[in-house]
Structure 1
Amino acid sequence: MTHDTEKVIIVEGLTDKKQISKVIAEDAEIVCTNGTLGVEKFDELLEDYDLDNRDVYILVDEDSSGIRLRHQLSRELPHAEQIYVSSDYREVAATPENILAANLAGKQIEVNPIFLV
């Protein structure tokens, strides 16, 4: 499978994906894990999205399930970069767009400049 973009952002759920999609201005691929990953599901993601050969960013909620997923993904994808949301908001979907944009831009992910005001 060939991919049009080098960047992959891994999130937990569809609401996270929608929030990020509003903010980014490049064709990064946003992948939902829908929670924790079993070995089989992770292997499928690894192969389907060629995660070993792409720039991978992990952006999950700051709650117990998100932190568990972050640790799991970090072990399996040591080259992945971490993007954190403030514990004030706890969830990617609840993080204001301007703060999310600043966090993404800090990792050289192109964002719509209207969110950087």
Structure 2
Amino acid sequence: MDLVEEKVIIVEGTTDKRKIKTVIKEPVEIICTNGTIGLTKIDELVDELLGRDVYILVDADDSGEKLRKLFKQEFPEAKHLYIDRMYKEVATAPYWHLCSVLLSANLDVHSKYVEKDEK
């Protein structure tokens, strides 16, 4: 029997996924859209993720906003997490900023990444 994670974070790319995997402390499934995603794929995701806590964490740029808009229409139950526009991309946002975004959604993170003076 497969153990299905209750929480799912949808990101754009594999570098975003790797960064989140580094800081997140609890079991969470991370799904990559690889930048673009069609309505058919979103519909499949919606069916697949029904009843789970879904978080959308995409880049603060045009393609990220288009993706977010699509998810808001097709998957209104999803919770949207936002990185600060000055960092533009999830992958380039500092670990401490990513942690504060995840913590604000009650997602558990490794405390060593919370401090601003990380490397």
Unaligned runs of 5+ in 2: none
Structure-2 change in CA distance of 1:31 and 1:2 (3 Å): same
Q: Measure the CA separation in 2 of the matches of 1:69 and 1:2.
A: 29
CA distances 1:30-76 after superposition (whole Å, capped 9, x unpaired)? 000112211222233234xx222100000000110000000001111
Q: Is the 8 A contact 1:63 1:91 kept in 2?
A: yes
Spell out structure 1 runs of 4+ moving beyond 2 A.
1-4, 43-47
Unaligned runs of 5+ in 1: none
Q: Is the 8 A contact 1:56 1:81 kept in 2?
A: yes
SS in 1 for 2:30: strand
Q: Measure the CA separation in 2 of the matches of 1:22 and 1:98.
A: 12
The residue type equivalent to 2:84 in the other structure is S
TM-score (ref. length: structure 1): 0.91
TM-score (ref. length: structure 2): 0.90
Q: Is the 8 A contact 1:52 1:77 kept in 2?
A: no
Identity %: 47
Q: How much is the aligned-residue C-alpha RMSD, in angstroms?
A: 1.5
